[in-house]
A = this chain, B = another copy of it.
Amino acid sequence: MQTHDAKRVAIIIEAPMEKRLTRALDQADVTGYSILDVKGGSGRSGRWSGAGHIGSANGMVQVVCIIRPEKLDGLLESVFSVVDKHIGVVSVSDCQVLRAERF
């Protein structure tokens, strides 16, 4: 089956920054992404768990974008402008997609 090269960018970021990040993505013309809940984790700022939390100040989300390779740099720059001072991990990996016309 015919597949096409693409990049998969996964950004783990604090829930209160979610809207700012997706706005930055929209502005960078990245209109395809999915958001998954992160229910706990650990990092330089220690462990945390969403269990029982009542505000959103404490949670994190993972935003996944699959994009054409040539759009990667633009995306990373606009992501970086948001993530910069913030807690968060950005990882990029290669992938193949079906139906390239969608991206």
| A interface residue numbers (CB < 8 A to B) | 1, 3, 6, 8, 12, 22, 25-26, 31-44, 47, 60-62, 66, 73, 76-77, 80, 83, 89-99, 102
Contacts and interface: CB of A to CB of B under 8 A. Distances in A.
Given A89-B102, A98-B76, A39 B35 contact: yes
Contacts of A98: 76, 80, 83, 90
A40 to B, nearest CB: 4
Given A1-B73, A34-B12, A34-B62, A6 B91 contact: yes
A38 B18 CA distance: 14
Interface of A is mostly: strand
Contacts of A25: 42
